[in-house]
Structure 1
Amino acid sequence: MKKAVVAIAIVTTLTMSGCATVPTASQEESDKAKTFEVLTDKAGLYIFRDSFVGQALKKTVWFDGEALGETAPSTFFYKAVSAGNHTVSTESEFSENHIYLQMESGKNYYINQYIKIGVFVGGAGLEQVSEKEAQQRIVPLKMNSLKNNITTPNVIETNKTGTRKGMYSIY
């Protein structure tokens, strides 16, 4: 019995110490974002991460080449943006990870950032999620502070024709 208690204590300590954290927004800001209010003159962008995989990893997310901040488990970002063509990107060790969105004012858009298991470290991916599913998944999460103590690398390169070529390595 004593060995079982010690083993549980060790596993719990290791699990808890392996969780990444990031600065979060105030409870008021988080609660307001979770009303999922639709703005008439802007589009709403929610980027969330709720998977269990990659608990110890923080992954940077960019909007049109500007760093929003780092994600951690059980967190989300909210940003009101202008309508138009936009790119959401995340760092990954596997491949370029971008989602291209044609955003309209008066609508919310929901992007899930998920972690993929890798040989040495997990990589991140992005997927657009339906409003109903995303809202259910976002409600229990904490809202990240935008630009939560990271520096903005130059992540999107534009070639001579004006098209985006991808993400620079940030390592």
Structure 2
Amino acid sequence: MKKLFAVLFMAVPLFLTGCVSTTMDSLENDAAAKKFEQPKNKMSGIYIYRDSIFGSALKKNLYIDDHFIGESAPKVYFYKQVKAGPHKISTESEFSNNDLNINTESGKNYFIRQYIKLGVFIGGANLEQVSEEQGKKAVSELKRALAQ
């Protein structure tokens, strides 16, 4: 029984680092978003990114204000402009969505990191707001996924 447990314990990371595909945005839109220009007309920019390869076999739905944005994948980001004000950013997790509430200001960009964590049956996911400096650095190394 100990050997079976040990094999399963070692197999979980292998399973969680498989491949996943998501619909990618154009190279032009990717380059434009990486200029990190300030949004105009009372809008805010939200970058949601996943920079870790841990759990790469898992797809997790992302939402802004309960509107589906897309399925995350490792080494990708989504960019969406929203009206300035309060917003709920959500990620699908193991048993229910995990939410992050932020209050955005007009003309500013916000960076949200999605990360995968071990779960009971499958990996879960959570969100954290990061600094503009950390977010820009991470997004610069990722590819843009097509937001819905």
Q: TM-score, normalised by structure 2?
A: 0.85
Percent same amino acid among aligned pairs?
A: 49
Distance in 1 between the 2:106 and 2:44 partners?
A: 4
**Does residue 65 in structure 1 map to residue 76 in structure 2?**
no
Distance 1:134 1:83 in 2: 19
State the Cα deviation string for residues 67-90 of structure 1 (Å, max 9, x = none): 001000000000111011110001
Cα distance per residue 1:95-151 (max 9 Å; x no partner): 54111111111100100000001232110000000000111011111101113xxxx
Q: Provide, for residues 20-65 of structure 1, a one-character-per-residue CA deviation record: whole Å limited to 9, x for no partner.
A: 1100000000010011111232100000001121011110000001
Which structure has the greater CA radius of gyration? 1
Structure 1 segments, 4+ long, off by >2 Å, are none
Residue 38 of structure 2 aligns with which residue? 38
Q: Could you tell me whether the CA contact under 8 Å between 1:62 and 1:89 is conserved in 2?
A: yes
Partner of 1:133: 134
SS in 2 for 1:106: coil
* Superposition pairs of residues 1-171 of structure 1, within 5 angstroms: 18-41=18-41, 42-94=43-95, 96-147=97-148
AA matched with 2:20:
A
Q: Is the 8 A contact 1:53 1:117 kept in 2?
A: no
RMSD across aligned C-alpha pairs, in angstroms? 1.6
How many residues align? The count is 133
Letter matched to residue 124 of structure 2? G
In structure 2, stretches of 5+ residues that fail to align are 1-13
